[in-house]
Amino acid sequence: MVILKGKTFVAYVRVSSDKQDAERQRATIKGWEKQTETTIAKWYEDTTGHNPRDKADKRASFQRLIKDIEAGTIPNATGVIVDSLDRFGVKNAWELGKYISKLREHGFELWSVAQGNLSSDDAATILTSTVGAITSTREQEEKSLRNITGKVQKAKAGEYQGGYPPFGCDVVCFDTKGKEKWRVVYDGHYSREKITKGKKPERYDGKDNFPAKDPTDVLGVRPSVKADRIKIVKQIFDWYSQENISPAQIANRLNRMEVSAVYAVAWEKVRITSILSQPAYLGLPTFNKSGGSRFFEYVGGRVQRVQPIKGKIVSGRKRDKADYVQPENPLFKPIIDPKLFDRVQEKLQASSERHRNTGRNSNRIGELWLRNFLVCAKCGKPMRCQASTKSRNVVSYFCSTYGTYGRENPTDCRCHRVKADVLHKIVEQYLAEANQRIAGLLKAEQTHNFDAAKQVAKEFYRKHEEIYDLFTTMHGQVNGFMQEHGRKDVMADFAKHEHKIAVGKCSKSIEGLGPFAQLYGFIHQQRKPELDRQYKSIDAEHSTLVKRVLGLPENAKAALRKANEQILSLESQLHDVDSERKNLADEVEHVIGDLATRKQAIDQIRKSVGNEAAFRRKAALLGQVVDRIVCHFRYSPGKNNRAKSYLDVVQIFPIESDPVKCFPDGEPGGPG
């Protein structure tokens, strides 16, 4: 039995939703603490909102726990305790292995009240933990499959499937005879009122606080009792069909009229476009217009597994109209005349085609090649771009929140307009420095100058420090082999067998690398048979010793202790020999290739100038090097107490290194 008395742990508690009880987990863990005579130094809890087990990267307390462990800010603690593996919460067995490895790297174990030590080295624990993670994943998938299948069937019958009802509609509860029992009218974000005929309205405000229905009741979407909202819907369709007006202009008009957007603080073009394309106004409440499920979805007329895009499950996936799920016939009298609805869809489609053909890729805005990278630091939203117009000869970027809502916006952002030339110069200067430093890294590798290379890596590309650790290890192995077998003899043998290296398996791993890496590859081939023999011999000795330990009586403490020490020594030897059996040239090739690719991309970005195609290519190449560019602004009083914004600091976030701060040398960020 493992003795835990006196050890210090941290506890983690997770509930999937607010409806679940976290107190039971706390009580169970506290009981375990008392029974094992351990100490819980700190509690981490994800107990508010939704905390799915497969979204560990989105759970705030869980990520804080991992960061605290990595930073070493939990003194004396040696383990994490959870109620059960399911409460720890991982996507699959691979993710469980990732987090257990992180814990072990920092001297932590993962314990469960229900299953014991989940991070032990023994085969039984590894198997049990893996099976547990697989079972957990399967449970999520089965639940998702049942959920999406049920929703499709109910949506075809016209039943409400959750979420906000379309603007101008309410959620209505019907009894078994189809008679209205009550309805819910929204008047804000998570702000709703239950209306029952002959009774006083009841408030149901807050997240996940929707009125409960009886098991035999059915919920559906119907035109709202708020006649003014239906009038606004009709007005939006009339404006768009009869005037030369865009959804953004309609949003601005409604904001000037001070019409409530109900679900948001103000109207914006996306909300107007959603209303103009909403089939519910034809009496056809529609499900599956977009997808956000993580396991299964309804596409192509059937339920199938969600396919990752570039390794990630993308939320908000737009559906083709063929995948919409709705009743066969209208459930109520249409709010919008079907002919008018069709005309509006044709106009929307034509506008979409024009935007696709002449929008983002037009010559008018082609020179604004940073538009997909810029973010406003104040609101966290992407920045928009504006090319020169007849009235203003300024090519610039500006805050999208300001562009959507105007001066009176939710985050109090100003225009934050920045001249394109200012940002382009900053980014180009950064690219020039990045190019120079990556070239320095590659040169240091070729010249085998470890000290210089490591210094450059620390200053710029910290992730690629690993290459110099690899080369240091390779250097030690090469020198050791040469000293043992004679430097001149080894080099002569290497020269005689160069033609074999050129066509052999090893050459594929070190092709394109410097002479040193090729020499290492040759020596590794010479050493590997002996290393394999050593590994096999130590492994056999280890197996024999383990069998002998299993046969010793429990009272033979001295013999057991000595045998355990020998086993640990052999395991250390196995690890060392196994490390030397690996061909490090494979890893070196990957890192050097990555550096060379980034340098090539930067070279191409800097050369891509002159025409629209070049600007598009420039943006595509920049995406291989930079993730995002965040613009910070400062304010100074303007006329009539209107604060004027100036670009203060630009943060460039490279793909695989720390952010870099750049300054615009005090230049104002354009008019605004």
* DSSP conformation letters of 366-393: TT-TTTTTEEETTT-PBEEEE---SS--
Take residue 297 and report the two structure tokens written for it: 């979805």
Average pLDDT, the chain: 78
Among 389-398, 493-502, 515-524, 657-666, name the one with the lowest average pLDDT: 493-502
Q: Residue 195: in which H helix or E strand, if any? A: strand 191-195
Structure tokens at 3: 């003795």
- Give the pLDDT score at 514: 55
CA 373 to CA 385: how far, in whole Å? 11
Class level of CATH domain 169-287+326-355: alpha beta
Among the listed residues 147, 152, 164, 162, the one whose alpha carbon sits nearest the alpha carbon of residue 299: 152
CB 239 within 8 A of CB 250: yes
Reported as a pLDDT band with limits 50, 70 and 90, residue 584 is confident
CA dihedral sign, ordered 478, 481, 484, 487: negative
Q: Secondary structure of the chain: what % helix, strand, coil (to 5)?
A: 50, 15, 35
Q: What are phi and psi of 362, to 5 degrees?
A: -70, 160
In terms of pLDDT, which residue wins out, 172 or 543? 172
Q: Are 445 and 592 in contact (CB under 8 A)?
A: yes
pLDDT for 596: 66
The pLDDT of residue 456 is above 90: no
For residues 116-126, give the mean pLDDT.
79
CATH of 8-148, one of 3.40.50.1390, 3.90.550.10, 3.60.21.10, 3.40.50.300: 3.40.50.1390
Which one has a higher pLDDT value, 483 or 36?
A: 36
Average pLDDT over residues 100-111: 90
Residue 47's pLDDT is 87
- Cα separation, 430 vs 433, whole angstroms: 5
Q: Where in the chain is the domain with CATH 3.90.1750.20?
A: 169-287+326-355
- Which tokens in the block code for residue 520? 């290492």
Using only the alpha carbons of the chain, give its radius of gyration. 32
Please state, in angstroms and as integers, the Cα–Cα distance from residue 568 to each residue in 125, 138, 303, 532, 574, following that order: 19, 37, 52, 20, 10
Nearest to 419 by CA among 433, 398, 404: 398
CB under 8 Å to 366, separation ≥6 — which residues?
612, 615, 616
Higher pLDDT among residues 31 and 655, named by residue: 31
- pLDDT band at 642, cuts 50/70/90? low
Nearest to 223 by CA among 178, 284, 264: 284
Q: What is the mean pLDDT of residues 430-438?
A: 72
Nearest to 472 by CA among 602, 597, 584, 613: 584
Name the strand (E) or helix (H) holding 282. none
Q: In 10 A of CB 189, how many CB atoms?
A: 14
Q: Where in the chain is the domain with CATH 3.40.50.1390?
A: 8-148
Look at residue 223 and tell me whether its pLDDT is greater than 90: yes
Mean pLDDT of 272-289: 91
- pTM for the whole structure: 0.47
Buried b (16+ CB within 10 A) or exposed e, 44-83: bbbbeeebebbebeebebbeebbebbeeeebeebbbbbbb
Name which of 294-298, 389-393, 434-438, 580-584 the model is least confident about.
389-393
pLDDT for res 446: 56
Task: Evaluate the CA torsion angle 304, 305, 311, 313 in order and state its sign.
Answer: positive
How sure is the predictor about 220, in pLDDT bands with cuts at 50, 70 and 90?
A: very high
In the prediction, which pLDDT does 504 show?
A: 42
Q: What are phi and psi of 175, to 5 degrees?
A: -85, -175
- Determine phi and psi for 78, rounding to 5 degrees: -125, 5
Give, for 227, the enclosing helix (H) or strand (E).
helix 227-242
